[in-house]
Amino acid sequence: MKNLLIFFLILSFLSINILICYCKEITAVSQLTNQKPQAQKLKKLADDLMVTVSKIRGLNFKTQITKKVTNQKEVRSIMFKELQNPETMGKLDGEGKMLIKLGLLPKNFDYRKFLVDLYVEQIAGFYVPENKTMYIADWMSMELQPSVLVHELTHALQDQYFDLTKVLKPDYNRSDLNMARTSVVEGEATMVMLEYMIKDYGFNIYELPNFSMVQFQDMMPYSSEEAKLLATAPPVISDTMTFPYLYGTDFIMSFVKTYGWKQVAEIYSAMPVSSEQIMHPEKYISNNKDLPVNVELNNIENALGPAWKKINTDVLGEYVYYILLRELSGKSTATIASSGWGGDQIQCFQNGSSTMIIMMSLWDTDKDGKEFFDAYSQVVANKYSREHVEDKGSNYYLWSTEDKYVYAGIKGKKVIVIEGVPEETIYKLLKTCSFWK
């Protein structure tokens, strides 16, 4: 089942809210060919597969699709043009610095360049809702083309019925929301692709006991031959990149098992709003949906002073909290301590070469909050090389580190973390946020 390694996209929890509207796919391509398929042959294959996609999905195409066979040089040109947008460039830079401060990327990691290189390496065709065009990769073998085309044709079908430009309109301050929406779109397209791939084998994928794309990926790590940069990517990039295709597929499978394909259209009128709902479909499918609580950090700039410039605001969500804890405190701790997530906001500021973060998280219960609070003390111990507990109580820690001070405090279901400022600034921020040690 090697062809199931369709791990696409430059879009991580961070970059996902930058290029999300283009539905660009990347795949682990192991069967390249020196002899390019003829353009007309590729377009005819796409036309023939439209019938198959319609049958699987239960929806007819309303109009024909514009198809353009493209090469890697043209794709690179398109991508670089997108990234010239100042808002896009600034967002990626801010996200990269925030991830470095969180301890999820190495210091001086060139986040934006790595994402661009990774995207170029892995791309295998894409559909653009803005111009209703499907771009077909001319460098892929005919053996790989059908599966990728089915996936992309599903995006075109989605666009005709649900308008992907609206569904995937990015919220630059809520990456978790963006990832949830993308997971529906990519999960549906991957599910259609899977049905296409097994259609001649005589079994029903919905009848396979405990089939899970997430578990499947756990058994098949990235191959350096198939995806060199993906294999070497920091987990926060590789895991959030593949989240919409793995967790999204499991989410759609769970929904289809419960309601059938026909009801999938209802998801688009009430989209999931968090990675939590995608990871735990029952939190979306049930009548009592587990909706995230909006968390806002206000007046932080005033407490910091004019020397500090805000470079990023975001919502991390359960999945990124899981990655953070997994990488810096261990998988078993991460599984427990991230599962009670209820909402969060993180803000990142820069002052010359210094970077600071402040994040407030809200948990489902006091017990959930305490589990995260305790786990974060392990994060600090593993992130810094010279951390020292300067003060602590039952509901707070204050550390000195090689990069100024770190504070973690808990008040009921709320947990606040401040990193990268002098001790006196921490107290100003605690007063601003109505926290105190």
- Give pLDDT tens digits for 308-330: 999 999 999 999 999 999 999 99
pLDDT of residue 89: 80
Measure the CA angle with vertex 9, ends 3 and 11; round to 5°. 145
Phi, psi (degrees; rounded to nearest 5) at 92 = -60, -40
Is the separation of the CB atoms in 65 and 156 below 8 Å?
yes
Q: pLDDT of 333-356, one tens digit each? A: 999 999 999 999 999 999 999 999
Is the predicted pLDDT of residue 384 greater than 60, yes or no?
A: yes
Q: b/e for 65-101, b at 16 or more Cβ within 10 A? A: bebebbeeeebeebbeeebeeeebeebbbbbbbbbbb
Closest CA to 234 of 12, 435, 6: 12
With pLDDT > 70 as the criterion, what percentage of the chain qualifies? Answer: 88
List, in sequence order, every beta strand (DSSP E) within 352-434: 354-363, 388-393, 396-401, 404-411, 414-421
DSSP E strand boundaries for 259-340: 309-314
pLDDT tens per residue, range 302-311: 999 999 999 9
Stretch 20-30: mean pLDDT, rounded? 36
pLDDT of 32 reads: 44
Which residue stretches of 260-299 are H helix? 264-267, 275-279, 282-285
pLDDT at 320: 98
For 228-269, the pLDDT digits (tens) are 788 889 999 999 989 999 999 999 999 999 999 999 999 999
pLDDT digits 0-9 by tens, 353-373: 999 999 999 999 999 999 999
- Kindly compute the dihedral angle of the four CA atoms of residues 263, 264, 269, 273, in this order, to the nearest 10 degrees: 130
**pLDDT tens by residue, 175-220:** 999 999 999 999 999 999 999 998 877 778 887 777 888 887 665 5
pLDDT confidence tier of residue 24, bands split at 50, 70 and 90: very low
Angle among Cα 141, 147, 151 to the nearest 5 degrees reads 125
List the one residue out of 247, 96, 265, 124 whose CA is nearest residue 186: 247
Residue 411: strand pairing partners? 414
Which is nearest to 416 in space by CA: 402, 401, 431?
A: 431
Would strands 309-314 and 396-401 be described as parallel, antiparallel, or unpaired?
unpaired
Interior angle at CA 330, CA 327 and CA 332, nearest 5? 130
The pLDDT mean for the chain works out to 86
Tell me the C-alpha distance between 333 and 338, whole Å.
8
Give the per-residue pLDDT at 232: 87
Average pLDDT (273-298) is 94
User: In this predicted model, what pLDDT tens digit does every residue of 110-133 receive, in sequence order?
Assistant: 998 888 788 777 777 789 898 999
Q: Which of 236, 285, 280, 60 is nearest to 153 (CA)?
A: 60
Output the pLDDT for position 221.
Answer: 55
- How far, in Å, CA of 341 to CA of 177, rounded? 14
Q: Could you give the CA distance from residue 9 to residue 367 in angstroms, rounded to a whole number?
A: 37
pTM over 0.85: yes
